[in-house]
Amino acid sequence: MIKEYENYQDTSKNYDTTRIPIGVEILLGCFATTPRPLPEQVILDGGCGTGNYIQALRSK
């Protein structure tokens, strides 16, 4: 039985600094296998985070 719960008020304060986008090169590799060249692709970041993955992809 869980006796403690995450305090999301505290967690959200440093979310951006602790959640780094890991595996961006893997994602780029997957996108590169499609018929459309990477610079012509439009990617929707449909997650519920802060957009740190799309920012990392945009910088490539």
* pLDDT tens track, the chain, 60 positions: 667 788 888 888 888 788 888 999 999 999 999 999 999 999 888 877 788 888 898 887
Taking CB atoms within 8 Å and a gap of at least 24, the contacts of 55-60 are 55/21, 56/21, 56/24, 57/24, 57/27, 57/28, 60/24, 60/28
Tell me the H-state helices in the chain: 8-11, 15-18, 24-32, 52-58
pLDDT at 6: 81
pTM above 0.95, yes or no: no
pLDDT at 1: 67
Reading the block at residue 13, the tokens are 């304060």
